[in-house]
Amino acid sequence: MGRIALVTCRPGPEVAEDRDLPGLVRALGAAGAEAVAVAWDEEGVEWGSFDLAVIRSTWDYSWRAAEFVAWAERCGRATRLANPADVVRWNADKRYLGELGAAGVPVVETRYVAAGEPVELPEEGEFVVKPTSGAGARLAARYTPEEHEVAVRHIRRMHAEGFTAMVQPYVRSVDTAGERALQFFGGSLLHASRKGAVLAPGTPYDARKTAHPGLTPWTPTEDELTVAERALGAVPGAPELLYARVDLVDGDDGRPRVMELELVEPDLFLSLHPESVPRVVDAILKAAAAG
């Protein structure tokens, strides 16, 4: 059945617990595979001894992005890595949203502010500032036009830490319709979930946020499926993806738009969807055998 690494990270104050990982290790073991959870930065790991390395919960990567991408490239040369290193490199920087938009995928309008560039913020309506490399709403905040000075300090802080900033209009529908996460595994829809708003007014950008508040199962609409499939089809090079999560919100026109396309380490929410575990195990075993 093969030897499989489920790649995670070391515990820490800014790292959430991966509740899916122990059960996935057990399920793969019950199916006959030798599966182990391994931190991506653990010293002395012989990645070539695995038939497949599946990135699962490397949730510290976003503030160590260059180091993580370099690891992915090394690991991908030693064994089969899912998702592949070129996908990791592309998706680790949220400037990919601009590429998706240029390809005709409906996305949340986004402006990027690199270090040294002038900071232009919306004069009307709430807006969001966050880094192009981020996860779990880390270093993200919601502002009103009256809070420009605070937002500028926020952006300067990100620049000082080596991040490019993103500025987006606050999508008002999130407060009522929430955000939907469509999970794909092994090339087809696995399940979908809905969560509430993450960014509350007045919450400091450096405060710890609940990444997935009010998470519930969701049945995606045809429009949501269409937009998600368009986003996946626009990934450069049409790579083979073992897993993907497409996060969608409704624009002012009521139509779904891509908020994020998660191809590096998306939470699969298997604790919410235990019926999906056998399909995930089967797809991982097939990927290991194909390597």
Contacts 24+ apart (CB under 8 A), 205-208: 205/129, 205/139, 205/140, 205/141, 205/154, 205/157, 206/139, 206/157, 208/14
Residue type, 75: C
Do you find a cis peptide bond into 91, omega within 30 degrees of 0?
no
Query: Per the residue annotation, which of 99, 126, 229, 262 is the catalytic one?
Result: 262
56 is catalytic: no
Query: Per the residue annotation, which of 56, 245, 260, 265 is the catalytic one?
Result: 245
Which DSSP category does 164 fall into?
A: P
Residue type, 289: A
20 vs 78: CA distance, rounded Å: 26
Determine contact, residues 264/61, Cβ cutoff 8 Å.
yes
Query: Per the residue annotation, which of 74, 77, 208, 255 is the catalytic one?
Result: 208
Tell me the catalytic residues. 208, 245, 262
